[in-house]
């Protein structure tokens, strides 16, 4: 049977994934081993796999697989998030297509449709993760609206309410007019947008109304005009909601306005001029329109000055009757129309281009409208404190550490969390309203009734008198419980799972949800378990394209991860992702990394092919002792580096160390050293060692490249394997002895071989032509033991040790040892002299710099002794080399 020339991922991936599943390798139940737990950041149930997931889950899988191979009981809990706004929007859209409007449905009817939709389309993303190789314990798959998880949400709500941490109040919230719901601060994405700044003239009321003809005034004129004051706003459509004009009391330009009143243009409502140093004098005109209903800062200013709140917007962003004009128009259309009306009325002084930050809804991308409404809030201050401490005292480690500062800043300035959403898809708020407007909080309608009867001392009340709050809680109010609720730690706080798996080990997530998810999970962990939910938080970067732009659907710059897997194989894509992903820094993704990953897979495949093709001859002696011993040391050395990198969560460096070990050390050096001549058999000892090394290499590769390694693992090259003897559960080798002298001497051998190849290249000598090599050793290295290797890889026919230099031969230095290769052609003395002179100049310069240190009293006094010793050694080496070089120069009579 011939082996394919390249690795073919498609033939292995599904096969091994099913095999792993069939034999329950991903499954975890508590036992006596040490647990290693990761809970997945639950993707939206509506989501499809994008590059961010790809990165995130590759990292998790690498960590989980490695833990499994270190003998831990590894458990990776998967699941999805019900994503109320996003899912509800999808369901509404689906219904609309079928000609059904949400408003015509009852809540239960709507929810039936929603569940249907979820069952049918939800969770695709979990199947996509399987393609990537994610070794999740699928039996533990959870959904944030599962019965136990929902129950946990309700219980949590009640618990926090009783503790006084949840309250109801009118607050300015971020209103999403498209989703028609409030969203939390964290769900508002700010973007810089080109806008217009409208300068609008308000007539001052104590002056008689006259003179309209001054369109061409500049700003200074505007200020000097005492009949009008001019404000600058980006939102002219909200002037009808103005409650006052505010100026800075120190603003000398406007002293004449103190105590005055002005008219709102078009509707001619009279409003006061108020004074507050909140107003920045040098922004706009220095006059600020105060619109408490439609701006957070204005709201606060309004509260301070007891201004009325006039809300002129409907929930869908259209103007209502209170606006008096443009009623029913959408806010953006109204903006354009009112500009025209103001212009016609002579109230528009000018329009400027202006850039400013605008909030957009993360879920619907609608422009967020600040809106006053009655909402439920969760107090954060008290909970933030312990959650901050976990991170500050290192019980929860953020990786990289730079996020600690950001985290602290946020936790110290945390604001109360608006947890209600005006949606149906989610956990309905467990509050029941009584006819008198009071409310009770209870787990069920029956309990609510009892509470209500108790509260009102009215036993006549029936459930018909109660109305449950129609809103649901924020999705994050269920995801913050995730590390506890996936192990059913609320209903059954002492069950075997939660006691075993909690706290979890590592959380891998994006820094953008550090606050609205990570911080809150720590709060919940502390509140409900008295323990942080995880020990380490690995924050990945944002996947960007080559040009540094965030990958997004709208830009169309994101490759489909499944296409990438199709093209480069799951292992190739995993390697590609990790090659360019430093922790916490954004990564500039490019498919060329996947290509590199695929090439690497292919390299391993071909190394396998080579070994597989050898025939063993038991009668042969082992000529490769040195090579075998060297690779053993090198392997152990690399193992240490990899271990160290993992301990610091430097995954891309751990991968790179592995990559170089395999490609350079194993393939390029080791296999070349021991490779028998064409169609010659190999001795048994070398063969055995080589196969054993290869098996160890498969182990360290497995977390990165699970499919390829599992495929090779089962080849008969490695002998008969039991059904359950799989690479996925193989135990990683321990670090063995390292012969450092051998390692450094082989480095010299590599220099010699590189020099020989270099000479061949420059002198255009074919690799097939054998050369003679002599060495005049000054270092004490016994080159005899490396003779076989040098002869084989350098194609050297005769390798001799000499006491005197060989004249007329090409020569080079490796450390302080001199090597000679006699050639037929004579050496050009001019070229050779130039080379030697350059070498001498360099050495002289080097010596000078070393001597400068050694002759410097302050250096000798201050530098550590090993550094001084090091300088002395450098000096000795340089002098030795200089001596050789000068001798060569003298011999050539340069």
Q: Map the footprint of RNA across residues 659-678, applying CB under 7 A.
A: 659-660, 663-664, 667-668, 671-672, 675, 678
Q: Of the candidates 512, 710, 509, 622, which has an alpha carbon nearest to the alpha carbon of residue 18? A: 710
φ/ψ of residue 468, rounded to 5: -80, 145
Least CB distance to RNA at residue 610 (A): 3
Q: Which of 159, 874, 879, 894 binds RNA (CB under 7 A)?
A: 874
Q: Which is nearer to RNA, 506 or 571 (CB)?
A: 571
Site for RNA in 511-530 (CB under 7 A): 511-512, 515
Site for RNA in 260-289 (CB under 7 A): none
- Measured over the CA atoms of residue 79, residue 84, residue 87 and residue 88, the dihedral's sign is positive
Rounded distance, CA 291 to CA 854, Å? Answer: 75
- Cβ contacts of 360 within 8 Å, gap of 6 or more: 188, 189, 190, 191, 366, 367, 368
User: Is there binding between residue 849 and RNA (CB under 7 A)?
Assistant: yes
User: Is there binding between residue 333 and RNA (CB under 7 A)?
Assistant: no
Q: Which of 206, 250, 462, 592 binds RNA (CB under 7 A)?
A: 592
User: Is there binding between residue 454 and RNA (CB under 7 A)?
Assistant: no
Strand partners, 358: 191
User: Is there binding between residue 803 and RNA (CB under 7 A)?
Assistant: no
Least CB distance to RNA at residue 217 (A): 27
Least CB distance to RNA at residue 517 (A): 12
Site for RNA in 186-215 (CB under 7 A): 186, 190
Q: Which is nearer to RNA, 290 or 484 (CB)?
A: 290
Rounded distance, CA 649 to CA 508, Å? Answer: 11
User: Is there binding between residue 761 and RNA (CB under 7 A)?
Assistant: yes
φ/ψ of residue 35, rounded to 5: -80, 150
User: Is there binding between residue 715 and RNA (CB under 7 A)?
Assistant: no
Q: Of the candidates 334, 263, 265, which has an alpha carbon nearest to the alpha carbon of residue 294? A: 334
Neighbours of 267 (CB within 10 A): 12
Site for RNA in 340-399 (CB under 7 A): 357
Which stretch, 26-34, 115-123, 239-247, 867-875, contacts RNA (CB under 7 A)?
Answer: 867-875
User: Is there binding between residue 18 and RNA (CB under 7 A)?
Assistant: no
Q: Which is nearer to RNA, 311 or 362 (CB)?
A: 362
Q: Which is nearer to RNA, 74 or 700 (CB)?
A: 700
Q: Which of 598, 634, 702, 792 binds RNA (CB under 7 A)?
A: 598
Q: Which is nearer to RNA, 354 or 410 (CB)?
A: 410
Inter-residue contact 707 to 690 (CB < 8 Å): no
Give me the helix-helix angle, 625-647 and 651-660, nearest 10°.
170
Q: Which of 7, 175, 254, 631 binds RNA (CB under 7 A)?
A: 7
Inter-residue contact 84 to 744 (CB < 8 Å): no
- Cβ contacts of 723 within 8 Å, gap of 6 or more: 23
Least CB distance to RNA at residue 833 (A): 19
Strand partners, 289: 245
Rounded distance, CA 112 to CA 138, Å? Answer: 26
User: Is there binding between residue 6 and RNA (CB under 7 A)?
Assistant: yes
First to last CA, the chain: 64
Which stretch, 30-38, 257-265, 391-399, 603-611, contacts RNA (CB under 7 A)?
Answer: 603-611
Which stretch, 46-54, 203-211, 402-410, 775-783, contacts RNA (CB under 7 A)?
Answer: 402-410
Rounded distance, CA 838 to CA 330, Å? Answer: 79
Which stretch, 131-139, 194-202, 303-311, 509-517, contacts RNA (CB under 7 A)?
Answer: 509-517
Q: Which is nearer to RNA, 509 or 596 (CB)?
A: 596
Site for RNA in 824-843 (CB under 7 A): 842-843
User: Is there binding between residue 763 and RNA (CB under 7 A)?
Assistant: no
Which stretch, 609-617, 618-626, 783-791, 814-822, contacts RNA (CB under 7 A)?
Answer: 609-617
Q: Which of 606, 739, 777, 778 binds RNA (CB under 7 A)?
A: 606
Residues 198, 309, 290: CA angle, nearest 5 degrees: 30
User: Is there binding between residue 740 and RNA (CB under 7 A)?
Assistant: no
Report helix, strand and coil shares of the chain as percent, to nearest 5. Answer: 50, 20, 35
User: Is there binding between residue 812 and RNA (CB under 7 A)?
Assistant: no
Q: Of the candidates 788, 789, 822, which has an alpha carbon nearest to the alpha carbon of residue 808? A: 822
Q: Of the candidates 649, 654, 643, which has an alpha carbon nearest to the alpha carbon of residue 732? A: 643
Rounded distance, CA 272 to CA 264, Å? Answer: 10
Rounded distance, CA 264 to CA 244, Å? Answer: 9
Site for RNA in 228-247 (CB under 7 A): none
User: Is there binding between residue 767 and RNA (CB under 7 A)?
Assistant: yes
Q: Of the candidates 517, 566, 518, 573, which has an alpha carbon nearest to the alpha carbon of residue 543? A: 573
Q: Which is nearer to RNA, 10 or 491 (CB)?
A: 10
Residue carrying structure tokens 């243009």 = 265
Instruction: Give the SS3 label for residue 282.
Output: coil
Q: Which is nearer to RNA, 458 or 849 (CB)?
A: 849
Q: Which is nearer to RNA, 452 or 508 (CB)?
A: 508
The footprint of RNA on this chain (CB under 7 A) covers a number of residues equal to 78
Q: Which is nearer to RNA, 162 or 763 (CB)?
A: 763
Least CB distance to RNA at residue 609 (A): 4
Q: Which of 13, 81, 176, 653 binds RNA (CB under 7 A)?
A: 653
User: Is there binding between residue 688 and RNA (CB under 7 A)?
Assistant: no
Inter-residue contact 596 to 614 (CB < 8 Å): no
Least CB distance to RNA at residue 761 (A): 4
Q: Which of 838, 870, 876, 890 binds RNA (CB under 7 A)?
A: 870
Q: Which is nearer to RNA, 27 or 660 (CB)?
A: 660
Site for RNA in 291-310 (CB under 7 A): none
Please count the residues of the chain. 894
Inter-residue contact 239 to 325 (CB < 8 Å): no
User: Is there binding between residue 402 and RNA (CB under 7 A)?
Assistant: yes
Q: Which is nearer to RNA, 93 or 831 (CB)?
A: 831
- Binding flags for RNA, 68-87, as an x/- string (CB under 7 A): --------------------
Please classify residue 197 by burial: count the beta carbons closer than 10 Å to its beta carbon, then call 0-12 exposed, 13-18 middle and 19+ buried: middle
Least CB distance to RNA at residue 743 (A): 12
Pairing of strands 616-617, 682-683: parallel
Site for RNA in 534-553 (CB under 7 A): 546, 548, 550
User: Is there binding between residue 250 and RNA (CB under 7 A)?
Assistant: no
User: Is there binding between residue 856 and RNA (CB under 7 A)?
Assistant: yes
Instruction: Name the token pair of 258.
Output: 């103190």
Inter-residue contact 588 to 579 (CB < 8 Å): no
Residues 525, 526, 531: CA angle, nearest 5 degrees: 80
Q: Which of 355, 409, 721, 883 binds RNA (CB under 7 A)?
A: 409
Query: What DSSP string runs through 28-80?
Result: ----SSPEEEEE--PPBTT----HHHHHHHHHHHHHHHHHHHTT-EEEEE-EE
Q: Which is nearer to RNA, 491 or 546 (CB)?
A: 546
User: Is there binding between residue 146 and RNA (CB under 7 A)?
Assistant: no
User: Is there binding between residue 687 and RNA (CB under 7 A)?
Assistant: no
Residue carrying structure tokens 């787990």 = 443
Instruction: Name the token pair of 720.
Output: 């008969």
Q: Which of 582, 681, 733, 822 binds RNA (CB under 7 A)?
A: 582
Instruction: Name the token pair of 183.
Output: 């969203």
Instruction: Give the SS3 label for residue 181.
Output: strand
Instruction: Name the token pair of 190.
Output: 């700010």
User: Is there binding between residue 757 and RNA (CB under 7 A)?
Assistant: yes
C-alpha to C-alpha distances, 142 to 57, 535, 668, nearest whole angstrom: 17, 22, 47
User: Is there binding between residue 5 and RNA (CB under 7 A)?
Assistant: yes
Q: Which of 141, 195, 453, 599 binds RNA (CB under 7 A)?
A: 599
């Amino acid at each position: 049977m011939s082996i394919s020339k390249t690795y073919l991922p498609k033939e292995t991936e599904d096969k091994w994934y099913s095999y792993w599943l069939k034999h329950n390798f991903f499954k975890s139940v508590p036992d006596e081993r040490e647990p290693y737990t990761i809970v997945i950041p639950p993707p939206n149930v509506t989501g499809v796999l994008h590059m961010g997931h790809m990165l995130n889950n590759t990292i998790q899988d690498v960590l989980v697989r490695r833990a499994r191979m270190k003998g831990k009981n590894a458990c990776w809990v998967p699941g999805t998030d019900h994503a109320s706004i996003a899912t509800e929007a999808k369901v509404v859209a689906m219904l609309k297509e079928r000609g059904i409007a949400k408003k015509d449905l009852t809540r239960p009817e709507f929810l039936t449709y929603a569940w249907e939709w979820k069952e049918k389309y939800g969770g695709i993303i979990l199947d996509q993760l399987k393609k990537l190789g994610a070794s999740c314990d699928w039996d533990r798959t959870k959904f944030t609206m599962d019965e136990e998880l929902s129950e946990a949400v309700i219980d949590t709500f009640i618990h926090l309410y009783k503790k006084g941490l949840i309250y109801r109040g009118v607050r300015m919230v971020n209103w999403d007019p498209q989703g028609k719901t409030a969203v939390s601060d964290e769900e508002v994405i700010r973007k810089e947008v080109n806008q217009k700044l409208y300068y609008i003239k308000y007539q001052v009321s104590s002056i008689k109304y006259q003179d309209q003809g001054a369109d061409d005034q500049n700003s200074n004129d505007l200020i000097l005009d005492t009949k009008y004051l001019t404000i600058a706003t980006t939102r002219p459509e909200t002037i009808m909601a103005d409650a006052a004009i505010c100026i800075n009391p120190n603003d000398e330009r406007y002293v004449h306005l103190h105590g005055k009143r002005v008219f709102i243009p078009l509707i001619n409502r009279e409003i006061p001029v108020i004074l507050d140093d909140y107003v920045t004098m040098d922004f706009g005109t220095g006059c600020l329109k105060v619109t408490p209903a439609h701006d957070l800062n204005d709201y606060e200013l309004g509260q301070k000055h007891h201004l009325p709140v006039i809300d002129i917007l409907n929930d869908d962003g259209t103007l209502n009757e209170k606006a008096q004009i443009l009623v029913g128009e959408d806010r953006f259309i109204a903006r354009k129309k009112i500009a025209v009306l103001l212009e016609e009325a002579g109230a528009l002084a000018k329009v400027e281009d202006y850039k400013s930050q605008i909030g957009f809804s993360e879920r619907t991308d609608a422009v967020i409208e600040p809106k006053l409404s009655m909402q439920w809030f969760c107090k954060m201050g008290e909970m933030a404190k312990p959650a901050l401490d976990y991170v500050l005292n290192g019980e929860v480690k953020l990786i990289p550490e730079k996020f600690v500062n950001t985290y602290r800043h946020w936790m110290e300035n945390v604001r109360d969390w608006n947890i209600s959403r005006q949606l149906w898809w989610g956990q309905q708020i467990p509050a029941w309203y009584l006819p008198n407007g009071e409310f009770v909080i209870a787990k069920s309608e029956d309990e609510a009734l009892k509470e209500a009867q108790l509260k009102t001392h009215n036993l006549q009340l029936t459930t018909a008198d109660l109305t449950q709050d129609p809103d649901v809680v924020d999705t994050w109010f269920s995801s913050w419980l995730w590390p506890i609720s996936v192990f059913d730690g609320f209903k059954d706080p002492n069950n075997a799972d939660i006691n075993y798996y909690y706290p979890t080990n590592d959380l891998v997530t994006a820094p953008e949800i550090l606050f609205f998810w990570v911080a809150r999970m720590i709060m919940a962990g502390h509140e409900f378990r008295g323990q942080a939910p995880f020990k380490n938080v690995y924050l990945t970067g944002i996947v960007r394209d080559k040009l540094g732009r965030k990958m997004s659907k709208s830009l169309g710059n994101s490759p489909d991860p499944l296409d990438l897997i199709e093209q480069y194989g799951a292992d190739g894509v995993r390697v590609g992702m990790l090659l360019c992903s430093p922790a916490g820094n954004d990564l500039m993704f490019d498919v060329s990394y996947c290509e590199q990953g695929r090439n690497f897979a292919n390299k391993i495949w071909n190394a396998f092919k080579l070994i597989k093709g050898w025939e063993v001859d038991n009668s042969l002696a082992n000529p490769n002792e040195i090579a075998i011993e060297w690779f053993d040391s090198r392997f152990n050395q690399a193992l240490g580096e990899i271990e160290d990198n993992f301990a610091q969560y430097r995954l891309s460096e751990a991968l790179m160390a592995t990559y170089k070990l395999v490609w350079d050390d194993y393939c390029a050096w080791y296999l070349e050293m021991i490779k028998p001549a064409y169609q010659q058999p190999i001795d048994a000892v070398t063969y055995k060692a080589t196969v054993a090394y290869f098996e160890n290499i498969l182990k360290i590769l497995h977390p990165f490249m699970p499919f390829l390694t599992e495929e090779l693992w089962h080849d008969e090259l490695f002998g008969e394997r039991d059904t359950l003897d799989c690479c996925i559960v193989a135990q990683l080798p321990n670090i063995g002895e390292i012969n450092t002298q051998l390692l450094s001497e082989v480095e010299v051998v590599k220099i010699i071989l590189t020099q020989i190849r270099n000479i061949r290249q420059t002198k255009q000598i074919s690799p097939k032509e054998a050369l003679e090599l002599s060495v005049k050793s000054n270092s004490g290295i016994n080159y005899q033991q490396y003779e076989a290797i040098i002869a084989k890889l350098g194609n050297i026919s005769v390798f001799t040790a000499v006491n005197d230099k060989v004249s007329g031969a090409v020569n080079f230095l490796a450390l302080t040892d001199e090597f000679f290769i006699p050639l037929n052609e004579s050496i050009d003395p001019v070229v050779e002299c130039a080379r030697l002179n350059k070498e001498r100049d360099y050495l002289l310069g080097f010596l000078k710099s070393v001597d400068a240190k050694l002759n410097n009293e302050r250096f000798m006094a201050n530098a550590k002794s090993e550094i001084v010793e090091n300088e002395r050694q450098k000096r000795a080496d340089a002098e030795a080399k200089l001596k050789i070089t000068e001798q060569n120069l003298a011999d050539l009579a340069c």
